[in-house]
Amino acid sequence: MSWIQSVLYFQGIPIEASLDQILLNRTIATIYIKGRSNYVQSPIPVNGIEGIWRFFYEREGQDSMLVFYPYVGRMAEISESAIPFHHRAGNLFKLTNMAFWQAEEAKNTEGYLSWTRKIYIYLTPYVVNSPRATYFNYRDLDIGVKNNNGKTSYAEASIWGLKYFKSNFDRLVRVKTIVDPKNFIRNEQSIPPLHSRWTNEED
């Protein structure tokens, strides 16, 4: 399968489709996705891999996937502190499990979310821990969200911040404190400014 065919595959378009068919097919179905990621530094034993398969026999696992992204080569040559993306040398691969469901299955959303959580728990012995590491662009709200009752502290934000950025999280907090001290730009998993540097009442 070529790269462009993989793009079609992940969009639910037949990989043998012609360019004219792709351009004419403008109907995009509503698809819900929940993705979770982990990093692996030691080979997962055969029995560990075999234990994963049972999840894909469950109803929610039928159209789901588990993807192994290799992280060696050039990825390992770049310093962990060069850019915010910290996951470099030492990682064999990123392991991503994703659940997909259609709009008509929305009533079973919790079932699909639960499916991703079960795999996440199962993988615990085989992945990076202390802290557990995950990929920022998947925005996994299960690992923690901001405090809606007031300012989110450094300690609270570090619950997800260290998983995404590891030791670079402290540097990002310092940058945030200087560039956006009143926390104007924020979301469920924002990097917070240090509270001693701002007085805005909102988080």
Q: Which residues are known catalytic residues?
A: 138
- In the chain, DSSP assigns E strands to 31-40, 65-70, 93-102
User: What DSSP line would sit under 141-188, residue for residue?
Assistant: GGG----TTSPPPHHHHHHHHHHHHTTHHHHHHHHHHHH-TT--S--T
Backbone angles phi, psi at 32, to 5 degrees: -95, 145
- Give the count of alpha carbons within 13 A of 179, CB side only: 10
Closest CA to 115 of 37, 59, 32, 53: 59
